Structure 1
Amino acid sequence: MIQPLVAVSTDVRQFENYRWHAAPQQYLEAAVAGAGVLPVLLPSFGDRLDLDELLSAVDGVMITGSKSNVHPSLYGGDASEANGPYDPDRDATTLPLIRKAVERGVPLLAICRGIQEMNVALGGTLATEIQDREGSLDHRAPASENQDERFAIRQSVSIKPGSCLAGVFGAGDIMVNSVHRQAVDRLGPALQVEAVAEDGTVEAVSVRDARAFAVGVQWHPEYWVQSDNASQRVFKAFGDAVRAHAAAKGGVRTAAE
C-alpha cells in the first residue's frame, strides 16, 4: 500500500546563520515505524498557508512536542522569561491547523506541547510551572544528560472508562514518561478528559463527538514506540485512523494502481 501522508508541525529555530523549520527525528521515526504513515514537515508560515488545500492533500496531522511553550497571550496569561522560550510562528500555524483539522474530520495526534496547543486552540487555558503547585507531582524530566533517563517510563496515568483511549488501552492505569512543566488548566469546551495522573494533572484529552481520531497526550509515546506496548498502541490507533480517512476519500491505493 502507498503510505498516507501526515502533516507534522515544525519548530522555528535560528542556528548556523539560517532560520530552520524542523522537527525532532523521534516523531518522524514513530510516524513511519509506529503509525505506518509518511510524515511531511509543515513549515510554520502561519496565515501564508492554505490549510484547506493542505488538509485535502494529507490524511492526518501530528503536532509534536517542543522545548518552547505556547505564548500566554493566546490564552489570557502573562508572558515571562521564566515561562519561555516561545515560538510565535509555530503558534500561528498549529492553532488554526488544529481547529481546521477537527472541523474537517482529519485524524489528529497532539503530543506534549501539542496537547497544550490543542487545548488553547479549542478555547482552553494552561497552567505553568505546575511543579510549584501545592499537591502536584514534579512532572519535569529527571536531571540527566542521558535521554533514555530523561524519557524513562516512570509515571502512572489512569485512563477514563468509556473514553477514546479506553478503546486503545482498556480502562485502568498505564505507565508513561513525563517531561513537562505546563499542563491543561481550564479545559477547552469541545474537549473531554481521557486520562489523568495521580495528582489530577490532565494527561490526555480528545475532541468530544469528533468526526475522526482527535487525541492529545501529555506524555511522549514517540520516544519508546519501538519497545513499549502502550506507546505502540497510541501510534497504531493514529495510523489506523489515518488509513481509514485516506480510504474514505480514495487516497489509499496499491502501488500498481
Structure 2
Amino acid sequence: MTKPLILVTADVKTIDGYNWHAAPSTYLQAVLAGADAVPVILPSLGPDIPLDDVLDQIDGVLATGSRSNVNPGLYGEDATLENGPYDPDRDATTLPLLRRTVERGIPLFAICRGMQELNVAMGGALLTEIQDLQGRSDHRAPTSEHQDERFRIAHPIEIKDDSGLAKILGSEPVEVNSLHRQALGALGTSVVVEALATDGTIEAVSVKDARGYVVATQWHPEYWVRSDSPSQKLFEAFGRAAAGYRVKRLGL
C-alpha cells in the first residue's frame, strides 16, 4: 500500500443490545476523497488498546465530531443531564490517544468534539451550552431533517495572519458551518488560537512547537469536502502531512 493510513476515532453506540464502535461515513469519505488516504476506525476500548502498537502502524489521526460531549468531570466541572449525552469509553480512549499522537509527532486533524478533546487532553477546559452565555451566538445546528441544511455554511471566521491555518487557507475570507453547544474555554498547555468567530468563540487551534502537523477546527470541513474550497484545502493539507510522515516512518 502506498496511500497513508489514517486512524479515525469512534463513538460507542448501543444498538440491539450490542455496543457498536462507529464513525460517521462523512469523515471516512473525506479521508478517502479529500486526503487521498485510507481510513481505519479505532475502537473505543480505553486502556485495553495498546496505543503505541497501533500508532506504530499508521500515518495520521482524525478525531471526529460527535453528538456526545466530553464529560465535564475531566476538566474539573460537574456533569449534568442537560449537557449530555456523554461517551465515557470514547473519552477514555481518545484523550490519551491525542496526547500520544502529539507527543510522537504524528499528523493530527481534530474536528468539533475532536478539537474539544485535544484541548482537554492538553489540560484545558471547555465552556458548556455556550448559547446560554452572555454575548455568545447560538452555534447549534438548525433544526432540520435534511443534513445539507444542518451543515449549511453559517458564519464567517477571522483567521490569525501568522497562523498555520492561514498558510493552508490563504488570505481569502472563510465562512464555516456551526453545529456545537460546547466550545473551548481555558486553553490547554501549548494550545494556541488560530481562528475566532465574531462572538469570540474559538474556531481553530494548533499546538505550539508540536513535533508534527496539528490542526483542529470547531466546524465541520468533512461535510463539504467535495464542493467547498477551504474544506478541500484542509483535507489536502492533512493528506500531504500524512503522506510525508509515511515516507519517514517506512524509510521510503
Unaligned runs of 5+ in 2: none
1:62 corresponding residue in structure 2: 62
Aligned match of 1:71: 71
Equivalent residue for 1:166?
166
Give 2:129's aligned amino acid: E
> How much does 1:17 deviate?
2.2
Cα deviation 1:57-100 (Å, max 9, x = unaligned): 00000000000000111000110000000000000000000000
- Verify the 8 A CA contact 1:160 1:172 in the aligned structure 2: no
1:158-184 CA distance string (max 9 Å, x none): 111111101101246311100001000
Indicate the RMSD between aligned Cα atoms, in angstroms: 1.1
- TM-score, scaled to structure 2: 0.98
Residue 250 of structure 1: how far off its partner (Å)? 2.1
Give the partner amino acid of 1:86.
Answer: Y
How many Å separate the matches in 1 of 2:187 and 2:134?
A: 20
Is 1:27 aligned to 2:8, yes or no?
Answer: no
Deviation at 1:243, TM superposition (A): 0.4
Which TM-score applies when normalising by structure 1? 0.96
Displacement of 1:251: 6.3
Q: Distance in 1 between matches of 2:17 and 2:131?
A: 36
Aligned counterpart, 1:90: 90
Question: 1:52 maps to what in 2?
Answer: 52
Partner of 1:226: 226
By how many angstroms is 1:3 displaced?
1.2
Matches within 5 A, 1:142-221: 142-171=142-171, 173-221=173-221
User: How many residues in Structure 1 have an aligned counterpart in Structure 2?
Assistant: 252
Distance change in 2, residues 1:227/1:172 (3 Å): closer
3-state secondary structure, aligned to 2:223: coil
Q: Using the alignment, how far apart are the partners of 1:249 and 1:180 within structure 2?
A: 36
Provide the rounded CA distance (Å) in 1 between the counterparts of 2:132 and 2:74. 22
5+ unaligned residues in a row in structure 1: which ranges?
253-257
C-alpha distance in 2 between matches for 1:238 and 1:122: 21
Query: In the alignment, which residue of structure 2 is the partner of 1:138?
Result: 138
Q: Percent identity?
A: 58
1:211: how far off? 1.3
Structure 1 contact 4–251 (Cα < 8 Å) conserved: no
